[in-house]
Each structure stands twice: as C-alpha cells, then as structure tokens.
Structure 1
Amino acid sequence: MVNRQTASYLTKRFQQTGMRPLSRFGQNFLIDLNLVDLIADSADIDDRDLVLEIGTGTGSLTTRLAARAAHVITVEIDTNLAQIAQEELEDLPNVTMRLHDALKNKNNFDPELLENIRQEFDKLPAKRRRFKLVANLPYNVATPIISNLLRNDPIPDVISVTIQKELADRIVAPPGTKDYSALSIWIQSVANASIVRTLPPGVFWPPPKVTSAIIRIDTDANLRARIDNIDFFHEKLRALYFHRRKFLRSVVLSAMKGELDKAQVDAVLEKLGFSGEIRAERLTVAQTIELINELGTASAEAK
C-alpha cells in the first residue's frame, strides 16, 4: 500500500474499512510519493539516527524512514488508522509504534513518549548517535510539537516536517516583518531554519484549505549556548510577545511583574541601551536573548 498511496487507492481503502479522514486529527495524506521521499531525503537519515515520527498515517513515510534509520518511533492518535498502518509496519523490527497523543497538554510532551525516546536513544553508540523529528505533522499540533521538542532532552539534531506554509513563514521570518513572532525568535535562537519546498493543496488527500511547506530546522549548540537559562528564556519570550505591539518598557514590566519593579526594569533597559519606547517586535534575535538574559540576572540579584 505504501507505494500506491494515491487518492483513489486511499478512498477505496477507507471505504472498505468504513473510515473517513478526521479533520480534528489533521488527517491530510500526502499522495505525491516523490514528496514523501523528499521529506525523508531532506533529513539526511542514516544508521546513526533515532527518528521520531508524529502522525503515522498509513505508514507511507514510516517505511521509508525505517529503511534508513537505526530506529523509528512513530506515534498515531487514531486507533482505526493505526490498524491500517500496523499491517505495513509489523514486519519492521526497528519500528516502535505508539498509539496515543504525543502531547500531554499544549506545553508538554507525553512523559512516557519522552522516556521511550530516551531509552532508544541511549541504545545507540554515544559518539555518533543523532535524534531527528521527521513527519508530515498534523497541522493542529505542529506548533506545540516543534516548539516543545526543542526544550526537551534529547534535543533533536534535525527537524524535517511538513507544516502549513503560514507557520513555516513565521518560523523563518526576519525582525520587523508581519510574520516575526515569539515562535520566530524561539526557533532562530537555537537553530537554523529554511523552507525546503512549498506544497500546493492538490498533493494531499483530502486537500487542505491551505498551502503547505516542508521545513528543515537544524539545531545549533553554539546558538543555544548564548541563552543563560533556556526555561526562563522560553517563558519570558512568550510573555514579551503576548502584547507584541506595546512599547518595550510596558511589556517588560508585565513580563517581570512580581520579580522586578519599574526602577529595576528601567535600569536593565538603560544598561542595554534599549529605548523603552521601541516595540519588542523590532528587536533582533540576538537583542532579545541579551534582554532576557539580563532580566534573568537582575531577577536573581533582586531575590
């Protein structure tokens, strides 16, 4: 089946099983197999890699990942769809299939999944092992999946996923543009991101109402090392961009409420040479890191 994943074949298969694609799970199946190959190709997978796939679907991408990777952990939330995929995957010894939601909640991965990832990762030779997320991500969970995975251990070396083009544009957006956001800064602060290919709706079944994109994100330890406290940075970054169009002094005061008073916030801004009347969205990634690091230092000293 995985080599015949056309719209007509999927339609027939779903009719046979009495199933239908579920929009609440973001089920849009990639029916151009050249593009399925491209997702796998863009991740540069080999026998050093533990690969996480979220959204097994019919197993079309999973089999390609298994043919290259040391091990694949694939997660599917739909019980009926998992049964179809299991028919394709049951004879692949390096595939672990999990049937549940990958997320515990909006801000956290399922703890059992994370433990499974760590266990499989620890089995690989320490000097050469890599961890990668490679998937045709369900659109409704793409942002929390990518954002939260970059905070967990192990940190993925590469993320190669299909997402909405709108989300991909936000991830790679430069400062001062309409798409520049907390998500842009968060990912660019720890990784290098680029859009591999834009995908029209017609390459999926059923076709989504939006244009999609394959994006590759390469994490960089040198970029990440600029951040003093990754959890504090992630928390305050989201707070700074909750009212992104307000003046910087105002949003910093709000983000640091209960930790720093007005005089202490003004002292931080003055030390960095930042006007309180610019907007947070005008700061570069490096400037935002500098600001949040300094706020963290000031907060620690104030305790």
Structure 2
Amino acid sequence: MSDHHAKKQLGQHFLHDAAIIDRIVRAIDPRPGERIVEIGPGQGALTIPLLRRHGALTVIEFDRDLLPGLARIDAESGALEVVNADVLTVDFTQLARGSRMRLVGNLPYNISSPILFHALDHAGAIADMHFMLQKEVVDRMAAEPGSKVYGRLSVMLQAFAQVTPLFDVPPGAFRPPPKVDSAVVRVVPRAPGSIGVHDARLFAEVVKAAFSQRRKTLRNALAPLADADTLRACGVDPGARAEDVAVPRFVALGNALAQRRSGTMTRG
C-alpha cells in the first residue's frame, strides 16, 4: 500500500516505525474473543500486526483510495471487516453488536477531539481506547488543575473516563513526518455509576462557559449560570479561575444547577 500518497486535507500521516508499532500492539494486548475496531487504518501498519495477533478486526476508513489495499490485507492476514465511512457518522453502539468493543487507531489530528467526544457518547459500548494523537492534545487530555494546559478537554474527558498517557512518538515514525510530536494514550470509560454527572448537556455548558475566557474569574465567567453563593456551596471559590478547579467540583456545580432547574420546572 506504499504507493498511496498521504492526503493533507484528511490529516493523513502513515505510521511506519516497526518498534513503535510493536509497542502499541503490546499496550493494547488483544485477547481472544474481544471485538477490536480500528479507526483510520491507513496503509495497515497497525492493522496487519493486530490481525496476525488477533485473527479478526473491524476497521473504519474514510478514504476510498485505501480500500483496495485493505482488501489485500484481508486476503493475506485474517478476517477483516471494512467500514467505509466518516467515523463521526458511525454508530459505535450498533457496531459493538451487543458487546463492549475496544477502539484503537492513529487518529487524524484535525478531528481528534470530535472523535473522542463521539466515542464517549457511546461509552457504554466501549471497554477502552488506545489512540495515537498529537502530544499537545494528549497533554491537555491528562492535565491536572493548575497546569497551563488544563482546560475544557481535560475536564470533559476526565469526568467520563480515566486518561493515561503511555509514551511519546517522534515525527520520524511517520510518512510524511508531521510537524509535531505525537503520543499514545489509553482512555477507559468510567462505569456509569461512578461518573456522577446528572445532566451531561448542562455539565458541558458549565465547563464551556468556565473556560471560554480563561483570564476571567469564575464569578464573572459563570455569571449567566450561577451566582457566587452557588459556587461556594459546591466548593468552588468565586474568585478562582477555571484552570484551578478540579473535575469533581465542576461535576458538583453542574449537578447543583441541574437540580435547581428540575426544581424550577417541577414548581412551574
């Protein structure tokens, strides 16, 4: 499949470093009977070793020009199911077929965050995710309060999943080399009973408002949603900035506002 040229508009960078590929497969550690789905198989760098190790794999590939090469992999290496679609339109719950699948992939960097949130919308059907992403994005995903890169992505992901950076990958591991470092991350959706977010949409609204203007205090940034007394009641300092507030405090604030809204609706 080496005759295929990476398409810049699709954010394609094809992994070719054998040592990195082996390290990713060992991190995934596929076991018999598991349902594994790869996003963006590209030229099959990860697909082939996963198939040889596991025997069966489903891949989601948007680029039609890559399909003939994937068909050859199917004939040579194992049972490969190819879904030709934009991953953001794929119903992961349906694709899991009643089990909890494992998602893997070298994600297109230009749509990595939307893919992560799309996957979390189907978290009940996903056991875990192992993704290659831009290192800067992985740093933001796993950042802790007080960090300069702790932000909306950090809070939204950590509220619903456990995020573990595994290792960095240099540009030279890809063709063509990207202009940034990459990293592999493990994301494990939390059990529904341990999440604690009562209204996911309102929670997202609170987090977005809090980080929309990072230099503002939460008293000002969240003024349309919550007053200072509500913030204090949830353990949030009204004079603090969003980057200093831990994920559980955002969850508590979102739940307090959800409870207030439901009470208002009930009385109405």
| TM-score computed with the length of structure 2 as normaliser | 0.89
Equivalent residue number for residue 118 of structure 2: 148
1:158 aligns with 2:128: yes
What is the alpha-carbon distance in structure 1 between the residues aligned to residue 134 and residue 182 of structure 2? 4
1:167 aligns with 2:137: yes
8 Å Cα contact 1:55-1:136 kept in structure 2 = yes
Instruction: State the 1:234 CA deviation.
Output: 2.9
C-alpha spacing 1:182/1:163, structure 2 compared with 1 (3 Å): same
C-alpha spacing 1:246/1:70, structure 2 compared with 1 (3 Å): farther
8 Å Cα contact 2:55-2:78 kept in structure 1 = no
One-letter amino acid of the structure 2 residue matched with residue 65 of structure 1: L
What is the alpha-carbon distance in structure 2 between the residues aligned to residue 48 and residue 232 of structure 1? 38
C-alpha spacing 1:67/1:231, structure 2 compared with 1 (3 Å): farther
Equivalent residue number for residue 174 of structure 2: 204
8 Å Cα contact 1:169-1:179 kept in structure 2 = yes
Equivalent residue number for residue 260 of structure 1: none
8 Å Cα contact 2:16-2:45 kept in structure 1 = no
State, as a whole percentage, how many aligned pairs show the same letter: 29
8 Å Cα contact 1:58-1:81 kept in structure 2 = yes
- In structure 2, list runs of 5 or more residues that go unmatched: none
8 Å Cα contact 2:203-2:255 kept in structure 1 = yes
Equivalent residue number for residue 7 of structure 1: none
8 Å Cα contact 1:268-1:298 kept in structure 2 = no
Equivalent residue number for residue 290 of structure 1: 252
What is the alpha-carbon distance in structure 2 between the residues aligned to residue 235 and residue 183 of structure 1? 13
Instruction: State the 1:91 CA deviation.
Output: 5.6
Equivalent residue number for residue 121 of structure 1: 97
1:140 alignment partner, SS class: helix
2:43 alignment partner, SS class: coil
Once the two structures are superposed, the pairs formed by residues 31-50 of structure 1 within 5 Å of their partners are 31-50=16-35
One-letter amino acid of the structure 2 residue matched with residue 253 of structure 1: A
C-alpha spacing 1:302/1:289, structure 2 compared with 1 (3 Å): same
What is the alpha-carbon distance in structure 2 between the residues aligned to residue 225 and residue 88 of structure 1? 40
C-alpha spacing 1:157/1:47, structure 2 compared with 1 (3 Å): same
1:281 aligns with 2:257: no
Cα RMSD for the two superposed structures: 2.3
One-letter amino acid of the structure 2 residue matched with residue 283 of structure 1: V
C-alpha spacing 1:52/1:207, structure 2 compared with 1 (3 Å): same
Instruction: State the 1:69 CA deviation.
Output: 4.5
Instruction: State the 1:29 CA deviation.
Output: 0.9
One-letter amino acid of the structure 2 residue matched with residue 26 of structure 1: G
One-letter amino acid of the structure 1 residue matched with residue 252 of structure 2: E
2:46 alignment partner, SS class: helix
2:114 alignment partner, SS class: helix
8 Å Cα contact 2:52-2:78 kept in structure 1 = no
Instruction: State the 1:70 CA deviation.
Output: 7.5
Equivalent residue number for residue 63 of structure 1: 48
One-letter amino acid of the structure 2 residue matched with residue 48 of structure 1: G
C-alpha spacing 1:63/1:224, structure 2 compared with 1 (3 Å): farther
Choose the corresponding residue for 1:191, options 145, 157, 161: 161
- In structure 1, list runs of 5 or more residues that go unmatched: 2-9, 15-19, 104-109, 123-128, 257-263
1:219 aligns with 2:189: yes
One-letter amino acid of the structure 1 residue matched with residue 91 of structure 2: L
Equivalent residue number for residue 232 of structure 1: 202
Equivalent residue number for residue 259 of structure 1: none
What is the alpha-carbon distance in structure 2 between the residues aligned to residue 231 and residue 46 of structure 1? 35
2:126 alignment partner, SS class: coil
Structure 1: 4+ residue segments shifted above 6 A: none
One-letter amino acid of the structure 1 residue matched with residue 171 of structure 2: P
Equivalent residue number for residue 271 of structure 1: 233
What is the alpha-carbon distance in structure 1 between the residues aligned to residue 50 and residue 152 of structure 2? 31
One-letter amino acid of the structure 1 residue matched with residue 259 of structure 2: T
2:97 alignment partner, SS class: helix
Instruction: State the 1:53 CA deviation.
Output: 1.3
What is the alpha-carbon distance in structure 2 between the residues aligned to residue 294 and residue 70 of structure 1? 48
Equivalent residue number for residue 148 of structure 2: 178
8 Å Cα contact 1:165-1:212 kept in structure 2 = yes
8 Å Cα contact 1:50-1:121 kept in structure 2 = no
| TM-score computed with the length of structure 1 as normaliser | 0.79
Structure 1 stretch 21-30 or stretch 225-234: which is displaced more? Answer: 225-234
Once the two structures are superposed, the pairs formed by residues 90-129 of structure 1 within 5 Å of their partners are 90=75, 94-103=79-88, 110=89, 113-114=90-91, 117-122=93-98, 129=99
